[in-house]
Copies of this chain bind each other. A is one copy, B any other.
Amino acid sequence: MLFFTQCFGAVLDLIHLRFQHYKAKRVFSAAGQLVCVVNPTHSLKYAPTRCAAAPASTEQGLLPPCHHREAVHDPQLVPCTCPLFSCPWEGHLEVVVSHLRQTHRINILQGAEIVFLATDMHLPAPTDWIIMHSCLGHQFLLVLRKQEKYEGHPQFFATMMLIGTPSQANNFTYRLELNRNQRRLKWEATPRSVLERVDSVISDGDCLVLNTSLAQLFSDNGSLAIGIAITTSKVHSAEAEM
């Protein structure tokens, strides 16, 4: 009996996801766009930014401070910490993707343009919605965070980070687009490197910022659809043509 109840629950979940997928497709009607339903991660308390702390000893030896990391010549061997809050993991850039997939169970999606559909926007802050996006030969991390910078006034912060060094990140441009109720909000910027950590990007305010009322205007039945596109930046393209 328990088995049948579980099966029924799973079928209901599938129908719900299918419905959300359909809704997102309706919002972003461009052909060929992949819609990814992203559930929130657990709401954890924020750990202090480890860049400010003394470097910790790991199996790879002492890690240099964050701003000295690019001294390592092979970008894949640059030491890095987990970009997410409350995670004590430390390793190298070449293994951060497998850490995010295995430990944090973050999905990775292929495609030049995708739609990120964040569910349960009503959940209390702090909450993160995270996916990885693989395109143009690199992996990117999209983080949507609900956080109270001012007590009692949660805001949403969305940013895209390259799983690579800051100099590699300068070669790309990402675009986040919200589109609903005859309103459209577009944010275009150079992705920040995952070495800079999500916390510092959000505290700098260098990302797409939505207050609660604007997030409600763009959300549909508690879900927020964000269209994502990544391109090589024009400066880089112009250099390549020369």
Chain A positions near chain B (C-beta within 8 angstroms): 149-150, 153, 173, 182-190, 204-206, 208-214, 217, 233
**Chain B residue contacts of A189, Cβ below 8 A:** 182-184
**Other-chain contact of A211, B190, B205, B233 (Cβ < 8 Å):** B205
Interface majority SS (helix, strand, loop, mixed), chain A: strand
Question: Which 5 residue pairs spanning A and B have beta carbons closest together?
Answer: A205-B213, A184-B188, A186-B186, A150-B150, A183-B189
**Chain B residue contacts of A210, Cβ below 8 A:** 209
25 A-B residue pairs with Cβ-Cβ distance under 8 Å, sorted by A, are A150-B150, A173-B182, A182-B189, A182-B190, A183-B187, A183-B188, A183-B189, A183-B206, A184-B186, A184-B187, A184-B188, A184-B189, A185-B186, A185-B187, A185-B208, A204-B213, A205-B211, A205-B212, A205-B214, A205-B217, A206-B214, A206-B217, A209-B209, A209-B210, A209-B211
Total copies of the chain: 2
**Chain B residue contacts of A190, Cβ below 8 A:** 182-183
Query: Do the beta carbons of A209 and B214 come within 8 Å of each other?
Result: yes
How far apart are A79's CB and chain B's nearest CB, in angstroms?
Answer: 27
- Name the CB-closest residue of B to A190: B182
Distance, CA A190 to CA B182, complexed state (A): 7
How far apart are A88's CB and chain B's nearest CB, in angstroms?
Answer: 29
Distance, CA A101 to CA B187, complexed state (A): 34
- Name the CB-closest residue of B to A208: B185
Distance, CA A214 to CA B185, complexed state (A): 15
How far apart are A196's CB and chain B's nearest CB, in angstroms?
Answer: 15
**Chain B residue contacts of A173, Cβ below 8 A:** 182
A150-B153, A185-B187, A209-B210 known; 9 new pairs, CB 8 Å cut-off, are: A182-B190, A183-B206, A184-B188, A184-B189, A185-B185, A185-B188, A186-B186, A205-B211, A209-B209
